[in-house]
Structures are given as C-alpha cells and as structure tokens.
Structure 1
Amino acid sequence: MTLQKRLNSSPRAIGNACSKNKCLLLIPCHRIICANGSTGGYVLGKNIKEYLIKLEKNAK
C-alpha cells in the first residue's frame, strides 16, 4: 500500500511532510517514488536520493 493511500492524502501534503523530516535515515523519505516512476525531489537533492536508493538496492 502506498504512503498516499495509507495517509489518505495528496502528493503535495506528503512532499511537504517529508521536507520537514529531521530524521532522514530513520524515516526514509528518500524511498518515496512518484506515480510515474521518477524519483522526484528530496530535501538533500535528487543526486543524494538516487544514490541512497541505489545503495539500498545493491545491499539486498
């Protein structure tokens, strides 16, 4: 189930909540992917988000 469905909220509200996240690795907002499959934005920048996703994918 997606975060949007679980929170019954809009993508903008979810993005706003993630932008205020102070515990970036404990609450992994970098894992949120857009509905169209793109990575979207991230408070530390798109390159860091893509790096973290790739790092986690390779760790499995």
Structure 2
Amino acid sequence: MALREPFCVGVTLTLVPALAPAAAAQVHVVDGQHPPAADDNPGSAELSFKIISKAVQTK
C-alpha cells in the first residue's frame, strides 16, 4: 500500500501534461454599454464585442 500512492502521483504528473491540449490564450473584450461595441468587431479594447456569445464562439 505504501508504494501505491507515490506511483499514482507519478503517473498523474506524467500523463496530465502529455494529454492536455496546447492552448494559446486569447483575450476578448465584451462591453454592451460601449457605444461602438458590435459583434462584427474583433473583440479588442477599442472595438469590443457587444454580447458574450460572440466571444465564446470566436476562436
């Protein structure tokens, strides 16, 4: 029993990084109160999205 826990921890620490997808961070700004906000915008601070669903759909 004493060897089981360190073994499981070792396997987990080895597999998690290997199986995790590489993801690039993206920042999308959503501000429905901002006058120039529109869902056709790129989602930047200057030209934000109007609704959150557009930011979720953007890859």
Range into which the TM-score falls when normalised by the shorter chain:
under 0.3
TM-score (norm 2): 0.24
TM-score (norm 1): 0.24
Structure having the higher helix fraction is 1
Question: Which structure is richer in relative contact order (CA contacts within 8 A, separation 6 or more)?
Answer: 2
